[in-house]
A and B are shown apart, each in its own frame.
Chain A
């Protein structure tokens, strides 16, 4: 993975406040320009933006309550029911809209928790090294020996089927990748000049982690997390589809698809929640790819070389 190869910068300078402010403004401009030059990134950003609006205004956007049984079951898409109704006569559009609050919010919670846990463990492992590092990394290896969905399913099944437990299972299977990545970054930066110099200047190891390492680690880790949101949405939907995640009548997208499996003639029940998942996962993958291109020093260098 490219992130693991991130080379530490060898020099850093401490600009004066005014200089720093000017750099900040020009850096912001630079980022905006970059985004405009990456249309796919902009597309991803817009899709996520639209979904954020849907999450906030779900109550206003959805014409019906997600669990209201409206009498007409399995009616195809019409002006009244944009996405049709399901076997219990619930409005699929309203359920998809409300489902965003479950799928997106829980996925972000999952990724954030996994990232925090993984980052802390990775930092401890990388910074202190030695036996502790060895044990933690072998533990990480062990988690990589399981196919993700299988382990998540086993954990979720062991904990009992609920959306909270599915998130917990997701966290348990997702933290190791962060631990491994962050450890790699810490080990790379640990011996970099600027960290060593601040240690020589008398800063303790705790301070040097916060001051020097966190900013350098944040970029690659956030890139990973952004891409991971897409994977987390798929994972949660899969667990719900398998019956070990969200339970009926919760309007969770994966659970809705599984309700549609048995109705081949009523295609709309499964198709629309699936499309919702695809758009969100696609958007986060586009965002992640774009961010990676911005952060990846290898990538940057190759662009510079090309323009030479």
Chain B
């Protein structure tokens, strides 16, 4: 075989791209998310139907439930006399129209409650994720590069504590130390209660205080964020450390890392350009997975730190058997979780050309 023909043969095989890989992947992934969302509503519906409490009594209260006309009206309106599939249909279309039921404890529509509490929770979760990813990647990287030395042992301890410590207890211990003993940080809330309220903001206090030009208030918001986000982030930090370490170790075994060194690139360059680039996908994926755990963790953490978000709302709903609100939070959190994972998958596609282009 001459070089000429081999080159031509090689050329013929090059660069055959599928037609719309990005589009078809995105659509497939969207469809899957939609199905999953439907499945979630099915489960919350089943749980609501399962409740031993009479839904009429729960929704109307004992007194109104004593009036047969009101009861009959309510049952007809919510289709409670219909067969279960019809009831589910009523429930589902209600959800889509924004009718998530009324909250017993606040006497407001659940969806309205959720939307007003969501920013506080999201601010906490995002602050936590940013911290957990930054420190988790650094520690995981150090653990992999200095295997079986101090950074590795340290990362191991954090990861182990992350899966062995009840975070609500960890939160209390941190309050005992940094508030009760040292007095460095506040014990709860989002901002110093003596400070004026900012009217008509986004609900994200960091953004609101910045746009209002209030550095003192921003400082207070930051101080209130420190303990809850450290506590909430502990298990996520452990998770990200473990995944980063495992992924980096696997990547380090690849010839392209040796090839990077063989090119004469410095170790720092190889780690940044070659190793982290290859590990970014797994780190991103696990961050998406961790997002669900963080949202769920807010139920515990917001209770400890009296953080006025979805978690505290869920806790108060659970203790007062306010089922509409609990199912509302469950639905809201689970749907946000699958949406975040959808976004993560789409990002992954951008990150990894092998997914994007095949």
| Chain A residues proximal to chain B, CB less than 8 Å | 138, 141-142, 145-151, 153-161, 230-231, 234, 237-238, 241-244, 254, 257-258, 260-261, 264-265, 267, 270-271, 273-274, 277-278, 281-282, 285-286
Contacts and interface: CB of A to CB of B under 8 A. Distances in A.
A86 B294 CA distance: 31
A153 B187 CA distance: 25
Contact of B51 (A158, A267, A270): A158
A144 B104 CA distance: 29
B40 A282 contact: no
Contacts of A160: 52-53
B180 A150 contact: no
A286 B187 CA distance: 33
B180 A264 contact: yes
Contacts of B10: none
Interface in B283-341: 292-293, 295-297, 299-300, 303-304, 314-315, 317-319, 321, 323, 326-327, 329-330, 333-334, 337-338
A157 B321 contact: yes
B292 A147 contact: yes
Contact of B172 (A155, A274, A278): A274
Contact of A277 (B48, B169, B297): B169
A145 B39 contact: yes
Contacts of A146: 40, 43, 292, 330, 334, 337
29 contacts: A142-B36, A142-B40, A145-B40, A146-B330, A150-B295, A153-B299, A153-B314, A157-B318, A158-B48, A158-B50, A159-B50, A160-B52, A230-B163, A237-B166, A238-B166, A238-B168, A241-B303, A242-B315, A243-B319, A244-B319, A260-B172, A261-B172, A264-B175, A270-B176, A274-B170, A274-B172, A278-B169, A281-B164, A281-B166
Contact of A147 (B47, B318, B334): B334
Given A242-B318, A242-B319, A150 B329 contact: yes
Q: Describe B's contact surface by its main secondary structure.
A: helix
A147 B295 contact: yes
Interface in B175-203: 175-176, 179-180, 187
By Cβ-Cβ distance, the 4 closest A-B pairs, closest first, are A274-B169, A147-B296, A281-B164, A147-B292
Contacts of A257: 166, 168-169, 172
Contacts of B323: 157-158
A154 B169 contact: no
A119 to B, nearest CB: 22
Given A154-B326, A278-B164, 6 more contacts: A147-B334, A150-B314, A158-B323, A161-B321, A237-B166, A273-B169
A281 B169 CA distance: 13
Interface of B: 36, 39-40, 43-44, 47-48, 50-53, 160-161, 163-166, 168-170, 172-173, 175-176, 179-180, 187, 292-293, 295-297, 299-300, 303-304, 314-315, 317-319, 321, 323, 326-327, 329-330, 333-334, 337-338
A238 to B, nearest CB: 6
Contacts of A278: 161, 164-166, 169
A95 B180 CA distance: 25
Residue in A146, A155, A267 whose Cβ sees the most chain B Cβ within 10 Å: A146
A244 B172 contact: no
Contacts of B337: 145-147
Contacts of A157: 317-318, 321, 323, 326
A150 B36 CA distance: 16
A147 B333 contact: yes
A243 to B, nearest CB: 4
Given A230-B164, A285-B164, A261 B304 contact: yes
A154 B327 contact: yes
Given A150-B299, A238-B168, A242-B319, A155 B47 contact: yes
Contact of A285 (B163, B175, B293, B338): B163
Contacts of B51: 158-159
A254 B166 contact: yes
Residue in A158, A237, A257, A258 whose Cβ sees the most chain B Cβ within 10 Å: A158
Given A153-B299, A274-B172, A231 B43 contact: no
A270 B161 CA distance: 18
A145 B51 CA distance: 22
A147 B293 contact: yes
A271 B173 contact: yes
Contacts of A260: 172
A243 B318 contact: yes
A243 B300 contact: no
Contacts of B172: 257, 260-261, 270-271, 274
A148 B330 CA distance: 10
B343 to A, nearest CB: 15
Contacts of B296: 147-150
A261 B160 CA distance: 25
A158 B329 CA distance: 13
Contacts of B48: 158
Contacts of B187: 264
B318 to A, nearest CB: 5
A85 B79 CA distance: 53
A151 B51 CA distance: 14
Given A150-B334, A154-B330, A264-B187, A274 B173 contact: yes
Nearest to B171: A261
Contacts of B329: 150
